[in-house]
Amino acid sequence: MRTIVQEIMEQFQQKIFRFFQSDRVTLPEAENQLSQAAKEFAVDMLQAYIQQVSVNLEEDRQGRRKAGLVIERKREERRLLTQLGEVCFQRDYYWDKQKQRYRYPVDEILGIEKGMRISSSLGLALAGGAAAMSYEKSSFYVGEGKVSRQTVMNQLRNCQAKEAIPQEKRRVETLHIDADEDHVTMRGGKNSILPLISIYEGIGHKGKRRYCREVFHLSEYGLSGDELWEKVLSVIESRYELEDTAIYLHGDGANWIKTGLEWLPNCRFVLDKYHKNKEIKKMCAGLDQGSLRQSVEGALRSSLAQGNEECFRDITESLCKESPQREKKIREAANYLHNHREAIAICRQEQEANNGGCTEPHVSHILSSRLSSRPLAWSKKTLICLAPILAAKGELEKKKETPPIKGLVLEKSAAKAKKAFPPKHILGLVEPDAIGALTAISLGKKTPAFSAVYSFSR
């Protein structure tokens, strides 16, 4: 092993000496030559390490005898694409007497799975790139264009955000939660809603800039409102002691957002300022730009903040008389604001409720920049994997496969049943599995054919 390593180092040293002997090399050329030489050196060292692992296993005859490993075939080649480049190595094929199967022990030692064509580290890098750019760009910048877009998508689907291990639970006086959704185009042209939950401890200041203190995000696709808020509550409880904590939930008042009030303790709803201002401007859109329009908008904001319903009603009626052609839009916006009057007035009643509400920027920076800012279409399977990764913005890890416990139980019970009762075809009866499933009973619309098959099945 020492000789192989020395040879590789000498070859690398010669390449470096030849580089320094060359004249008039530009900086880009120097970068390319040195990086290529370093990658080739790293690949050679990696191949030498794998070869040494294989040789050590082959020479350890006593250990192989105890493990029941017998060499079946020697020097079988395998290629693997890594972040350093393509690695080509040879290893032996063994027969395992104890487990009664053939194996590649060297692959198992190195953590190389069956059928794997790219290394785990490269797969994670490709998935991380796909979370910020297109599959094609991730393949070009991370995999040097040696993998297909389909491979990048498969690696993304096999990854998940690395779960952050919370430290000791903290006690805070207030927590702010922003809830909003991004409208994502699915395959087939339909739009779907992808929720985003942002939890933070209020807004801090860095000079003139504002930021959300200790912010973290959650996003899950395909969950119901109760399932989503149950997960949000469990994550919050793992980080904070909520006994004396006041929680302010900011949003636009959608039903799935207000479901959080049923799950979060000591929680008050606050209408997001973006949607409040949007409806106020919609009411006053018929007025000419100028002092009159500004004064009416100010009067609407003042009446809503003070909870003065009579003043708000009078302003609404006067706007309808001023712009009768816009009466429908004015009343729709007025009804929206009136229904959320308590969620607006709370900002004046409780000063801390005013220290949050950044729903639109969160969605724009975290979800929309990757999912909906360009004409893209997504599948459900990809969104289920990608949404938590975008929200976490942290390290990735491979998904942990869980053994099919239910399937094993069913297989055991079926084996017991076969022992207890003979197969029906032996008794001259029809095999039930040969009939097939009546898919028309549970699929499709209620057509005459459906009714006939359903009545027959009943």
Residue whose C-alpha is closest to residue 115's, from 144, 148, 85, 80: 80
Q: Which residue has the tokens 């050679």?
A: 44
**Is 75 among the domain residues?**
yes
Domain boundary among 376, 396, 416: 396
Are 270 and 214 part of one and the same domain?
Answer: yes
Q: Which residue has the higher pLDDT, 429 or 262?
A: 262
Which residues fall within 8 angstroms of residue 278, CB to CB, at 6 or more apart?
Answer: none
Query: What are residue 218's DSSP bridge partners?
Result: 197
Are 330 and 421 part of one and the same domain?
Answer: no
Which residues fall within 8 angstroms of residue 5, CB to CB, at 6 or more apart?
Answer: 45, 48
Residue whose C-alpha is closest to residue 384's, from 151, 194, 128, 127: 194
Are 382 and 234 part of one and the same domain?
Answer: yes
Domain boundary among 396, 413, 433: 396
Residue 214 pLDDT greater than 50, yes or no:
yes
Residues 70-83 pLDDT 10s: 999 999 999 999 99
Which residues fall within 8 angstroms of residue 229, CB to CB, at 6 or more apart?
Answer: 259, 260, 262, 263, 264
Residue 443 pLDDT greater than 60, yes or no:
no
How is the chain split among helix, strand and coil, in percent rounded to 5? 55, 20, 30
Residue 452 pLDDT greater than 70, yes or no:
no
Are 237 and 353 part of one and the same domain?
Answer: yes
Per-residue DSSP letters for 356-374? ---HHHHHIIIIIHHHTSS
**Residue 18 belongs to what domain range?**
2-117
For residue 429, what pLDDT band results from cuts at 50, 70 and 90?
very low
Are 72 and 136 part of one and the same domain?
Answer: no
Asked if 390 contacts 366 with a C-beta cutoff of 8 angstroms, the reply is yes
Are 306 and 435 part of one and the same domain?
Answer: no
Residues 12-63 pLDDT 10s: 999 999 888 887 889 999 999 999 999 999 999 999 999 999 999 999 999 9
Residues 324-355 pLDDT 10s: 999 999 999 999 999 999 999 999 999 899 88
Q: Which H/E stretch holds residue 96?
A: strand 86-96
Residue whose C-alpha is closest to residue 174's, from 235, 260, 236, 256: 236
Asked if 273 contacts 357 with a C-beta cutoff of 8 angstroms, the reply is yes
**Is 290 among the domain residues?**
yes
Are 360 and 392 part of one and the same domain?
Answer: yes
Average pLDDT of every residue of the chain: 85
Q: What is the mean pLDDT of residues 276-296?
A: 89
**Is 165 among the domain residues?**
no
Residue 451's pLDDT is 55
Q: Cα dist. 39→87, 101, 122, 232, 414 in Å?
A: 11, 37, 14, 44, 54
Tokens of 241: 């002691």
Are 128 and 24 part of one and the same domain?
Answer: no
Residue 268's pLDDT is 95
Residue 404's pLDDT is 47
Are 233 and 148 part of one and the same domain?
Answer: no
Q: What percent of the chain has pLDDT above 70?
A: 87
Q: Which residue has the tokens 């890594």?
A: 82
Using alpha carbons only, how large is the chain's radius of gyration in Å?
Answer: 32
Residue whose C-alpha is closest to residue 296's, from 307, 306, 305, 287: 287
Neighbours of 88 (CB within 10 A): 11
Residue 296's pLDDT is 92
Tokens of 414: 């079926």
